[in-house]
Structures are given as C-alpha cells and as structure tokens.
Copies of this chain bind each other. A is one copy, B any other.
Amino acid sequence: MSKQEIPYKIYLEEHEMPTQWYNVRADMKKKPAPLLNPGTLKPMTFEDLRPVFCDELVKQELDDTTPYIDIPQEIRDFYKMYRPSPLVRAYCLEKKLDTPAKIYYKFEGNNTSGSHKLNSAIAQAYYAKEQGLKGVTTETGAGQWGTALSMACSYLGLDCNVYMVKVSYEQKPFRREVMRTYGASVTPSPSETTQVGKKILAEHPGTTGSLGCAISEAVEAATHKEGYRYVLGSVLSQVLLHQSIIGLESKAAMDKYGIHPDLIIGCAGGGSNLGGLISPFMGEQLRGEANYQFIAVEPASCPSLTRGKYAYDFCDTGMVCPLAKMYTLGSGFIPSANHAGGLRYHGMSSVLSELYDQGLMQAVSVEQTQVFQAAEQFARVEGILPAPESSHAIRVAIDEALKCRETGEEKTILFGLTGTGYFDMVAYEKFHNGDMVDYIPTDEDLKAGFDGIPRFPGNME
C-alpha cells in the first residue's frame, strides 16, 4: 500500500474493539509448567491460591485450555475511556532512517498511568470488587503499576494499598502524588507495617528496598487483612491474558488495512507487555496459520532470557510466593542501578519462558546508553517521549530497520511502545550530561543470584 492509503494513526472504532481476551496457553501444545506450592512442591491448586488472589483470577491463572475469555462489560466500558490505543505508522522515523522497512508501533502510553499496566489493573480490581472485597494490596517499583491500580480502584471505589520500593518513594515523589490523587495509600517498603518488613529492617537497617521485598510485604498485608487480596502487574499468566488486548487491537487494526508484520518486537521485564502484544500473533503461528519473527528485548544489566537459567524459582525475595518455572537470574539477583525500572525483575513470565525454550521466540539484550540514544532519536522525529523500558524495543526496531537499509528488504516491523517517560527525566538528564554508564553483570554476579535459594529435586541445576 502507498503512504497515502495508510493513515499515521489507525484507531479502531469502539464497536471494533475486542470483546474477549485471548489465552495463548490454550494453543500451546507443550503448556507452561504449573506454579508449585513452595511447601509441598506440588502444583498450586485453586484452594492454595484463594487466600492470595480473588477467585475469578485464580481460575484465569490456572486455565490453560480456554482460548477466549469474555471481557466483562464494566471493564469494556473502562477500556473505552483510554482505548482503543493507536497503532501508529512511524512515517517520520522511516524517513529519518532512510529505510525501506515499514515501521508500526502500538502506543499504550496515552493514559495517566503512562503505560499498558492499566489494562490488567482494571481487570484485577474489577474481579476483586465483584467478589465483594474491600481492597487490594500491591507493590510498585518505578510506579506505573501502582498508578494504574490506583486509577482502577478509584474508579470502582476500592481501597488500594501500595508498597513502593523506598528508593523510588523518595526519588519519585511525583509518582507517589499521582497515586495519592487517585486516593491510594502509599507505604515506602520495607516498612514496619508487616512482619517481613520489620525483619528486613532489623537485618538491614537503612536499606532502600527492592521489588522482591515489596512483593513479600504486599502479599503478607493482603493475606493478613480481612477482605483484601494481592494483585500483581506482570509475570502471571492472568496478566498476559488481560494484556492480550494490546495484540488483539494491533492485529485487528493491521488486518483492516491488510498489513502483515514480519517482525514483532517488545521489551521484556516480567513479560506482561510482550506477552500481550504477541499473544494473538503467536496463536496463529502455533495453529500453523501464519509465520512471524518475535524478538524479546531485555536490558543487558538484567538478562533473564539471554543469560538466565530455565528452572523453578521463587517470584519474590522473601520466598513467600509460589515457585514458577521460568528463565531466571535467581531470586537473589540484585540488578544494578538501571533506570529502566520496569525491566529490573529476576525472572520472566512462565508462558514466555516456555515459548522461548521451544524456540518460538528470540531474545536479545541491549545496553542502556544505546537505549537512550534510540529514545532521543525517536522522540525527535515521532514526537512521543518514550519510557526507558519501551525504548529497549525502539532500539531493536531501529537496528532492524537499519539492517533493511543495507539489504534493501521491505520488512514490516511492529513494536510495542508501552509507555511515556515523563517521570523518567532524571535518567534522561544523566544521559544528556554524559553521566550514564552501562553495566553488564559478570558470570560471578549471575551466580550470586542463586545463592541461598533452597534446592529441590529437578531444579536449579
């Protein structure tokens, strides 16, 4: 198609928006390994998970056979406030790169949470509300997930308690204030409000916290408080299910204009955005209906897919959560100060890990100075100021488009632009001032991530 025929932004009509989420596990012949109960080492059951997650979400977490799940009307109404998100043709970037490649991105940043996180936050809050719960607890690092959950809870009239990693709480006061605007209570973690928090504070006075520790606190708070449940913004299969809205909309928009992406690229931290983006395309591939190349992009400083182990591991530092089989750097791995906050997780979604292990998806890691170069280049021609996380995908999309310039191939590239960088200007400032450094963990650093983690048969080898 010629430039004239495809608009800069493709918006679906409201009536074209998906009415069901897509569960990619249903089309996987070899399913992702089940979560294990850390006490019994047996697969987690509905009853095991009920004290932690609300019932409907437990069902979704355990369901690896139902391909389509209806999106409740109230969630669909909420989606209409900020969705459909635009599928953008990056005409200006293509021109700047002088590439024959056609570049598209699905932009999820135009809502106040600043990212795709809202897609799952409203779903998780909705089911909690439906179950008659009073509220939910969660952790947040960079703050997008906490903000998204605050927005969803405020809309539904649900109480929202956020454990925010202390260093972020102090360095990102604006994020905190956005959450307060939406009525959430925000506690710096570790805190004195939980046993696990007290223990960590006693052992490490003056610690600035970590995501793994904040998860442990939020889980404890939920399970010890009447009428509360814990919610999580990534990694879980239920989250990938909700995030499939990204891929479903992308696919519907592309189908409308007869566009076939050759290459689909997304950044990967816990995997929620990448999993959501690729799900319906991967489904086609699994069913033998189409062929795509998928690339997961992770930071060189936290390379779970490219340098991790495929093994059962804990999802949190406190070891209170179930065990998940995933590509992991070890739940004891402490990522260096990397500004792409949302990508600093030691593990990766079980679904994506299994797809990667089966060779259905590729993975690359990139260094952050390269990422910020791509971010700035993108901002200057496409107008949007990208989040550092999203910019990992931009980096590889640009690299692939430049390869096409060399080879003359007219590949169609689709990447996920998960969010905006308005609250990441400290990192941009470092980049502008030349103070940003790259960090690649040594093999020794990586080994340390597995220290102190209990071994059990068949794992961690």
Q: Is A425 on the interface with B (CB-CB < 8 A)?
A: yes
Q: Is A367 on the interface with B (CB-CB < 8 A)?
A: no
Interface residues of A in 371-418 (CB under 8 A from B): 376, 379-385
Within the assembled complex, what's the spacing in Å between the Cα atoms of A180 and B14? 38
Instruction: Say which one of A4-12, A46-54, A265-273, A443-451 lies at the interface with B.
Output: A4-12
A420 to chain B, nearest CB (A): 8
Q: Which of B111, B154, B174, B383 contacts A81 (CB 8 A)?
A: B383
Contacts of A428 in B (CB 8 A): 177-178, 180-181
Contacts of A381 in B (CB 8 A): 155
- Do A383 and B151 touch (CB < 8 A)? yes
Within the assembled complex, what's the spacing in Å between the Cα atoms of A422 and B147? 12
Q: Is A432 on the interface with B (CB-CB < 8 A)?
A: yes
Contacts of A432 in B (CB 8 A): 177, 180-181
Q: Is A112 on the interface with B (CB-CB < 8 A)?
A: yes
A129 to chain B, nearest CB (A): 15
Contacts of A382 in B (CB 8 A): 81
- The prevalent SS among residues of A at the interface is helix
Interface residues of A in 165-222 (CB under 8 A from B): 173-174, 177-178, 180-183
Q: Is A110 on the interface with B (CB-CB < 8 A)?
A: yes
Q: Is A28 on the interface with B (CB-CB < 8 A)?
A: no
- Do A425 and B174 touch (CB < 8 A)? yes
Q: Is A455 on the interface with B (CB-CB < 8 A)?
A: no
Q: Which of B80, B151, B422 contacts A174 (CB 8 A)?
A: B422
With A80-B9, A376-B181 given, is the CB distance from A112 to B423 under 8 Å?
no
- Do A155 and B383 touch (CB < 8 A)? yes
Within the assembled complex, what's the spacing in Å between the Cα atoms of A380 and B183? 8
Q: Is A257 on the interface with B (CB-CB < 8 A)?
A: no
Q: Is A92 on the interface with B (CB-CB < 8 A)?
A: yes
A373 to chain B, nearest CB (A): 12
Q: Is A82 on the interface with B (CB-CB < 8 A)?
A: yes
- Do B383 and A112 touch (CB < 8 A)? yes
Within the assembled complex, what's the spacing in Å between the Cα atoms of A381 and B112? 12
Q: Which of B9, B181, B379, B425 contacts A385 (CB 8 A)?
A: B181
Within the assembled complex, what's the spacing in Å between the Cα atoms of A41 and B197? 72
Q: How many residues from A make CB contacts under 8 Å with B?
A: 43
Contacts of A425 in B (CB 8 A): 173-174, 177-178
Q: Is A429 on the interface with B (CB-CB < 8 A)?
A: yes
- Do A383 and B181 touch (CB < 8 A)? no
Q: Which of B77, B81, B422 contacts A423 (CB 8 A)?
A: B422
Contacts of A422 in B (CB 8 A): 114, 174, 178, 422-423
Within the assembled complex, what's the spacing in Å between the Cα atoms of A108 and B11? 17
Closest to A6 in B: B14
Closest to A429 in B: B177
Contacts of A80 in B (CB 8 A): 7-9
Q: Which of B81, B111, B180, B384 contacts A8 (CB 8 A)?
A: B81
A385 to chain B, nearest CB (A): 4
- Do B112 and A379 touch (CB < 8 A)? yes
Contacts of A14 in B (CB 8 A): 7-9
Within the assembled complex, what's the spacing in Å between the Cα atoms of A14 and B432? 36
Interface residues of A in 251-274 (CB under 8 A from B): none
Show 25 A/B contacts (Cβ-Cβ < 8 Å), sorted by A.
A7-B80, A9-B14, A9-B81, A77-B91, A81-B382, A82-B383, A111-B383, A112-B420, A151-B383, A154-B380, A155-B380, A155-B383, A177-B425, A177-B428, A177-B432, A178-B385, A178-B422, A178-B425, A180-B432, A181-B376, A181-B380, A181-B432, A182-B379, A182-B380, A422-B422
Could you list which residues of chain A lie within 8 angstroms of chain B, going by C-beta atoms?
Answer: 7-9, 11, 13-14, 77, 80-82, 91-92, 110-112, 114, 151, 154-155, 173-174, 177-178, 180-183, 376, 379-385, 420, 422-423, 425-426, 428-429, 432
Q: Which 5 A-B pairs have the closest CB atoms?
A: A174-B425, A8-B80, A177-B425, A422-B422, A7-B14
Extra pairs beyond A81-B382, A110-B110, A155-B383 (7, CB < 8 Å): A8-B14, A9-B81, A81-B92, A173-B425, A173-B429, A174-B425, A177-B429
